[in-house]
Amino acid sequence: MSVLTQHLPQLLDGLLSTCLLMVLSFAGSLAIGVLVAAARVSPVRSLRAAATGYVELFQNIPLLVWLLLFVFALPEVGVIFPLFTTAVIVLALYEAAYMAEAIRSGINSVGRGQAEAARSLGLTTPQTLRHVVLPQALRSVVQPIGNVLIALTMNTSLAAAVGVVELTHAANEVNLAEAQPIPVFVGAGLAYMAVTLTIGLTTGLIERKVAIVR
Amino acid sequence: MSQHESTVLFDAPGPRAQRRQRILSVAVGIAGLALLAVAVHRFAERGQLDSAKWEPFTAWGTWRFLLNGAWYSLLAAAGAAAIAGPLGLLLAVGRLSPRRAVRWAAGAYVEIMRTVPVLLLIYITLFALPQYGVNLSLYWKLVAPLALSTAASTAEIFRAGLLSLDRGQREAGLSLGLTNGRTMRLILLPQALRRVIPSLVSQSVGLIKDTSLGYIVSYYELLFSAQVYATYSHLLIQTFLVVAAVYLVVNGSLSKLGRELQRRDPSARPRLRRAPVPPALTDPATVAPPRPPVDSLQGDER
């Protein structure tokens, strides 16, 4: 146990880094996810195709491949960002594919009549989406989005593989220095569980707040 | 997941809408092409499109090395699936067990494993276990954590399948005098398993993606092979792009198979087959009498 208290600052830094990664890439993935989902249900065929391609691309290629590609390979063609920023970008792009699918399932769950009513009032497709369908869709997908966020939190650990010092990386460093794996890794595991549990509870709360009672 | 579900938002377009859509379509196409042009220009400018840099990928030796890696990826995924499948099934049945201790233990396992990153588990097999004299082979350093973690998500799929079955199936089994275990084995599981096959296929995509973590344990799967090859040949971008394409082809076909199975599966659309409940039954006045049997059933479920 003393290992944990001794290295607490280092581990807390790691936890903070994990949370920062999570929050930033969550915001990014939500924004991209909404756009991609909207494109996937749009009447313009090439937009639909592009969005489908995006989802297929990011859902079928492992996150680690994307991370290595962005961190080590793309600098060779001049696409280069600070390491942490790269991790955020890759995580956001990757999770956006899952976010888009979650939101699309929400869009499909909105009653047909809603869109029909909106159209018969003379709203255009973008207006229908923005004012009528998306607000209802987003309310109904709080739980699925929470699940994507939990997966995202666990995926932030992969940033350790390319050298971002987040919780998993910090835990491993402490273990290498102190050779006391059990307390260190159990501690890190508990921290992850605390984060995901918080997300689970929060999404539960939000869901109850925004749910549409029919 | 069918292709035609997106028509909720719009009708067949009229002439003006058609024109607008065609213009937008072309605009999107031009934007895409412009993006591609920028990328190609960037690559060409830095000499990344030189034929010398791509030529190794026409040689069989390179492909043999990479495809060997892909084969080891599949081996790792198969090994993990072979453990995670049965274990997940046990956990799912355990979570629905009438015994509280079993339910609790299975639930705890699933909840813990679903919230701890696989990478952390891999670090444990890599750095922690050897200190206690447990030194697994590279294969198991990758496969054991993958299997333990995948078992939890597989359990959730099986459980969802079991819960999606009509209540009456279980009730009918019990009322025929079958024990809880035999009801599960003879009646519920065969139906639930059939129902979750599409989800399992989709999940195998996730498993194959996770085998890329072999990169961290230096197990010669596809990604680690790529890394080794890239270091040896200094063809970073080319190797990673080729490997990404291999993943895309393998996983893309699997995803497509999963979607296809989902679409064809008749039990996935139970609402179409189930006879609608007559409105008279939902009337509060008529619902009251049949209550007692439901209560006695809850006692049985305890």
CATH number of the domain where residue B175 is located: 1.10.3720.10
Q: How far apart are CA A100 and CA B62, in angstroms?
A: 36
Specify the length of chain A in residues.
214
* Mean pLDDT, range B100-114, rounded to an integer: 93
Angle CA B28–B257–B57, to nearest 5: 70
ipTM of the modeled complex: 0.88
State both tokens at A111. 């009653």
DSSP string, chain B: --TTGGGGG--S--HHHHHHHHHHHHHHHHHHHHHHHHHHHHHHHTTTT-HHHHGGGGSHHHHHHHHHHHHHHHHHHHHHHHHHHHHHHHHHHHHT-SSHHHHHHHHHHHHHHHHS-HHHHHHIIIIIGGGGT----HHHHHHHHHHHHHHHHHHHHHHHHHHHS-HHHHHHHHHTT--HHHIIIIIIHHHHHHHHHHHHHHHHHHHHHHGGGHHHHT--SHHHHHHHHHHHH--HHHHHHHHHHHHHHHHHHHHHHHHHHHHH-GGG-HHHHSPPPPHHHHSHHHHSTTHHHHHHHHHHH-
B236 part of contact set with chain A, CB < 8 Å: yes
Do the Cβ atoms of B227 and A193 come within 8 Å?
no
Q: Which residue has the tokens 């696989």?
A: B118
Q: Is residue B22 part of a domain?
A: no
Task: Measure in Å the smallest separation between the Cα of B179 and chain A Cα atoms.
Answer: 36
Among A35, A40, A45, A76, which would you mutate to test the B interface (most chain B Cβ atoms within 10 Å of its Cβ)? A76
State both tokens at A122. 């003379």
Question: Digits of tens for pLDDT over chain A (214 positions)?
Answer: 677 888 888 899 999 999 999 999 999 999 999 999 999 988 888 899 999 999 999 999 999 999 999 999 888 888 888 999 999 999 999 999 999 999 999 988 888 888 889 888 988 888 888 999 999 988 889 989 999 999 999 999 999 889 899 999 999 889 888 888 888 888 999 999 999 999 989 998 998 888 776 6
Do the Cβ atoms of B9 and A115 come within 8 Å?
yes
Do the Cβ atoms of A79 and B32 come within 8 Å?
no
pLDDT of B285 strictly over 50: no
Sign of CA dihedral A30, A33, A35, A41: negative
pLDDT of residue B279: 46
* Mean pLDDT, range B228-254, rounded to an integer: 92
pLDDT of residue A214: 63
Sign of CA dihedral A175, A179, A181, A187: negative
pLDDT of B287 strictly over 60: no
Q: Is residue B139 part of a domain?
A: yes
CATH superfamily of this structure's domain A20-166: MetI-like (1.10.3720.10)
pLDDT of residue B268: 53
* Mean pLDDT, range B7-28, rounded to an integer: 80
Question: Which residue of chain B has the CA closest to A116?
Answer: B9
Do the Cβ atoms of A157 and B120 come within 8 Å?
yes
* Mean pLDDT, range B181-197, rounded to an integer: 91
Quickly state the pLDDT bin for B296 (edges 50, 70, 90).
Answer: very low
Q: Which residues of B touch A66 (CB under 8 A)?
A: 244
Q: What is the dihedral of CA B72, B77, B80, B83, to 10 degrees?
A: -110
Q: Is residue B277 part of a domain?
A: no
Q: How far apart are CA A144 and CA A100, in angstroms?
A: 11
Q: How far apart are CA B157 and CA A33, in angstroms?
A: 25
Q: How far apart are CA B260 and CA A207, in angstroms?
A: 32
What's CA B188's distance to the chain center, in Å? 22
Half-sphere exposure of A192 (CA within 13 A, CB side): 31
Q: In a 10 Å sphere around its CB, with 0-12 CB exposed, 13-18 middle and 19+ buried, how is residue B42 labelled?
A: middle
The chain-wide mean pLDDT, for chain B, equals 83
Q: Which residues of B touch A115 (CB under 8 A)?
A: 8-9
CB burial readout B128-156, b (16+ within 10 A) else e: beeeeeeebebbbbbbbbbbbbbbbbbbb
Q: How far apart are CA B275 and CA A138, in angstroms?
A: 32
B221 part of contact set with chain A, CB < 8 Å: no
* Mean pLDDT, range B147-159, rounded to an integer: 94
pLDDT of B280 strictly over 90: no
pTM value is 0.84
pLDDT of residue B282: 42
Q: Is residue B96 part of a domain?
A: yes
Q: List the domain boundaries for chain A.
A: 20-166
Domains: count for chain B: 1
Percent of chain B with pLDDT over 70: 84
Q: How far apart are CA B218 and CA B216, in angstroms?
A: 5
Longest dimension (CA), chain B: 82
Q: Which of B121, B118, B90, B94 is nearest to B107 (CA)?
A: B94
pLDDT of residue B299: 35
Cβ–Cβ under 8 Å, residues B212 and B220: no
Which residue segment(s) compose the domain that B127 sits in? 60-264
pLDDT of B142 strictly over 80: yes
Q: How far apart are CA B51 and CA B48, in angstroms?
A: 9
Do the Cβ atoms of B127 and A43 come within 8 Å?
no
Do the Cβ atoms of B25 and A40 come within 8 Å?
no
Quickly state the pLDDT bin for B7 (edges 50, 70, 90).
Answer: low
pLDDT, one tens digit per residue, over B77-91 is 999 999 999 999 999
Where does residue B35 fall: left (phi above 0), alpha (psi -120 to 50 degrees), or beta otherwise? alpha
* Mean pLDDT, range B254-280, rounded to an integer: 66
Do the Cβ atoms of B28 and A40 come within 8 Å?
no
